Structure 1
Amino acid sequence: MQVYLVGGAVRDALLNRKVVERDYVVVGATPEEMISQGFTQVGKDFPVFLHPKTQEEYALARTERKSGKGYTGFVCDASSSVTLEEDLLRRDLTVNAIAQDNLGKLIDPYGGQKDLENRLLRHVSEAFSEDPLRVFRVARFATRYAYLGFTIANETMALMQSMADSGELSTLSAERVWQETKRSLLEKTPHVFFSVLNEAHGLSDWFTELESSVDTALATLKTAVDLEKVENESSFNKGDSGTQTSESSAPEITRLITRFTALLTHLNEEEAKRLCSRLKVQNQVSEIAILSSKFKDSLSDTQNSPADLLALFNGCDAWRREERFTLLLSAFAPYAHNKGVDWQHQQKRIKNALEAANQVNVQDIIATGVKGPEIKDALTQAKLAAITSLSE
């Protein structure tokens, strides 16, 4: 039995990046031998085991043969006769097909180190095309390492285009596509993910609504990242919280919502709904993006009337979901910025109007003798009057 460190841990160590998790491949072992040494088997499709102390993953060396459509249609051979080179051959990119033994020696049969030096993402073999999820994975790797100057090899891009044109991407599950998308949106240069997919003909199955206006979407997404940097640097310079850094201060979910909203706001409401539904985006993220698409004109209009503002608050249920509405205003900033709106002033105007309307007390209205259905109308008129008074 021989154990090797493989994949991302080796790649990131060679790039002087922080290694987050370690995966191992075991050559010359059987499931029974692994279990006898205290490992716990967790893999269903192929033998993967958790180390009894570290809980790190150890997978038996395996080969895969395509047997059907999609990313699950594979026949796996994890017998003890499978070699390390055979295991590495089935991996997606050469930079992910480097192994390291327990003495620190690198085993690199497919030129991964050279591709790391050349900042190149290149497929290991033609078997790459058997798994359509790899189109999205490569787009994510291109996104993650764009700041280091990585590009995709021409022959790999051609293969990705062929895979997309074949219709295989449509066989993927929404959960897997959204997972790759979500992870990419949280990288330093999230626009790269969609640029790569666009070049690879990979938008049509899952991001149909973005195809005709991808440049606009990506420009707004870039602005979202730029505005984050300005805000983070400002917070860092002020020394807020003592633990903040200039790289990231907003919670991950907030960054995800803001960036995804920036990507979708230029769409109309129905387009945004379709895209979110197709990807099965979680409600916490999708509802802000959809509201932003629906109310972008009202949010952007610095001359909108008190009645328009009241309609905005009603449509967004700002009365009961004020925290969500505040998040919407924050997420809308990139779109407003790209439209030339003085968003700082407009956002303050909207918040002041909402605060004024919230000062209206329904109990005071009831105390005047108003009853039944008339209460709602009286409440609306009182809120409208409160907003109107701000501009007088």
Structure 2
Amino acid sequence: MEIYLVGGAVRDKLLNLPIKDRDWVVTGATSQMMLDQGYLQVGKDFPVFLHPESKEEYALARTERKVDKGYHGFECNANPEVTLEQDLQRRDLTINAMAEDSNGQIIDPYNGRDDLKQGVLRHVSQAFSEDPVRILRIARFAARFAERNFYVAHSTNKLMKAMVNAGEVDALVPERCWAETHKALSEISPLRYLQVLRGSTALAVIFPEIDSLYPQSTRTSAHSKQAQPPIFKIFSKTCQSDNAHYQHPKFRFALLMMGIYFNNTDIKDISILCKRLRVPSDYEYLAITAANMHQAILIQETLTAVNIFSIFEKSDALRKPERFAMALKICLLFPDIEKHLTVLLKLPKLLDQCIAIKANNLEIKGLQGKEIGVIIRKARLKSLRDNM
């Protein structure tokens, strides 16, 4: 029985990056041997165990055989004869197919160390094509290591295109698409995620609304300097900012969705994408709020108290001021509403003043229900007129 540190922990150690999670592979062992030593089995489909003290994951070395389309279409073999090299061969990328033994020796049968030095994202074997999630993962790694200029090997990109053509990407479940996309939105360069998906032709399948933002004449190569959709310039610049709001995946998602709104001004398309990929409702609401707000601001020659209060009401700002503030920050990134900038910068304070006006601050004796609502609304409109 031998135990090895594997995968991302080895990769990140070689890159001198902080190690977030440690995963281990065990060779020469059975499930019963692991249980006898106090490990807790957590995997139903795969023999994965938690260490009794550290709670880190220990998996029996295994091979996998494709039997059906999609993420779950595998048969697993985890008998004690499976070698470390066989286990590493089933992994997605060479940079993730390295191990470290108990003496600190790196075991690298697929030249992951060289690819790490050269910044190459390369598949380990043809088994890469058996799992469509790997297309999303390789795009996410490109986003993570964008500052190190990692790129997808030509042979790997060719294989990814073949997977798309074979319909493997069609078998991706919405939850996995969103899970990988959500992680990518938190990476250094989410734009690289989209570019790699575009280069593999998977973007048109997973995010047709975003793919349609590209000029039709652009080539779909992972290495080409593609003509970028206009939204990408703002998106890329914003993602590079140190502003904490701009780094939040929810903010980045809503900003990206503005590209769909600008492409055809049909905000319903944002909802269609969100429903299809099971995007969390708070992400969807922020994206729709930002698009509606921008549209409402853009059509006005001047912003009056009535206009502003209408924006507050339609964006549910009086109940959700934090969401309104984030949507406003998104709108302020676009130069086409600069003529309203002076007023827009006052909106957070104006909103706070409106929220502070409540029934117990007003003369409402003898009034009920809708009558009270009318009085509050009038008072808030007066506050806007007085303070603009």
TM-score tier, shorter chain, comes to 0.7 to 0.9
User: 1:56-76: CA deviations, max 9, x gaps?
Assistant: 111111111101110100011
Query: Do the aligned partners of 1:119 and 1:151 also contact (CA within 8 Å) in 2?
Result: yes
Shift of 1:251: 7.5
> Does residue 263 in structure 1 map to residue 225 in structure 2?
no
The unaligned stretches of length 5 or more in structure 1 are: 232-249
Shift of 1:363: 5.7
Shift of 1:106: 1.6
SS at match of 1:3: strand
Structure 2 Cα separation of the partners of residues 116 and 64 of structure 1: 25
The equivalent residue for 1:290 is: 288
Change (3 A) 1:310 1:168: same
User: 1:193-233: CA deviations, max 9, x gaps?
Assistant: 1111111111223322111225233223213224x32x4xx
SS at match of 1:326: helix
Greater alpha carbon shift after TM alignment, 183-192 vs 357-366: 357-366
Query: Do the aligned partners of 2:293 and 2:327 also contact (CA within 8 Å) in 1?
Result: no
The equivalent residue for 1:234 is: none
Which of 261, 266, 272 is residue 274 of structure 1 equivalent to?
Answer: 272
> Does residue 387 in structure 1 map to residue 384 in structure 2?
yes
The equivalent residue for 2:52 is: 52
The equivalent residue for 1:247 is: none
Shift of 1:39: 1.1
Greater alpha carbon shift after TM alignment, 212-221 vs 186-195: 212-221
> Does residue 219 in structure 1 map to residue 233 in structure 2?
yes
Change (3 A) 1:109 1:287: same
Query: Do the aligned partners of 2:65 and 2:76 also contact (CA within 8 Å) in 1?
Result: yes
Shift of 1:297: 2.1
Shift of 1:116: 1.0
Shift of 1:51: 1.3
Query: What's the RMSD between the two structures over aligned residues?
Result: 2.4
- Which amino acid in structure 2 is aligned with residue 351 of structure 1? P
Structure 1 Cα separation of the partners of residues 87 and 279 of structure 2: 34
- Which amino acid in structure 1 is aligned with residue 342 of structure 2? H
Shift of 1:377: 4.3
Shift of 1:288: 0.8
> Does residue 321 in structure 1 map to residue 320 in structure 2?
yes
The number of aligned residues is: 368
Structure 1 Cα separation of the partners of residues 163 and 351 of structure 2: 50
SS at match of 2:26: strand
Change (3 A) 1:290 1:372: closer
Query: Do the aligned partners of 2:245 and 2:251 also contact (CA within 8 Å) in 1?
Result: no
Structure 2 Cα separation of the partners of residues 323 and 17 of structure 1: 34
Structure 1 Cα separation of the partners of residues 356 and 7 of structure 2: 58
- Which amino acid in structure 2 is aligned with residue 311 of structure 1? S
Structure 1 Cα separation of the partners of residues 36 and 371 of structure 2: 76
Shift of 1:383: 3.2
The unaligned stretches of length 5 or more in structure 2 are: 215-228
Structure 1 Cα separation of the partners of residues 311 and 102 of structure 2: 62
Shift of 1:140: 0.5
Shift of 1:375: 4.7
**Aligned 1:6-25 pairs, distance under 5 A:** 6-25=6-25
Structure 2 Cα separation of the partners of residues 40 and 185 of structure 1: 33
Aligned residues: percent identity? 39
The equivalent residue for 2:150 is: 150
Shift of 1:381: 4.0
**Aligned 1:227-266 pairs, distance under 5 A:** 228-229=241-242, 231=243, 250=244, 255-266=248-259
Query: Do the aligned partners of 1:302 and 1:346 also contact (CA within 8 Å) in 2?
Result: no
The equivalent residue for 1:241 is: none
Query: Do the aligned partners of 2:65 and 2:75 also contact (CA within 8 Å) in 1?
Result: yes
Structure 1 Cα separation of the partners of residues 17 and 46 of structure 2: 29
Structure 2 Cα separation of the partners of residues 295 and 363 of structure 1: 30
User: 1:255-296: CA deviations, max 9, x gaps?
Assistant: 112111111123232111111112212222221111112221
> Does residue 304 in structure 1 map to residue 303 in structure 2?
yes
Change (3 A) 1:361 1:85: closer
Query: Do the aligned partners of 2:3 and 2:25 also contact (CA within 8 Å) in 1?
Result: yes
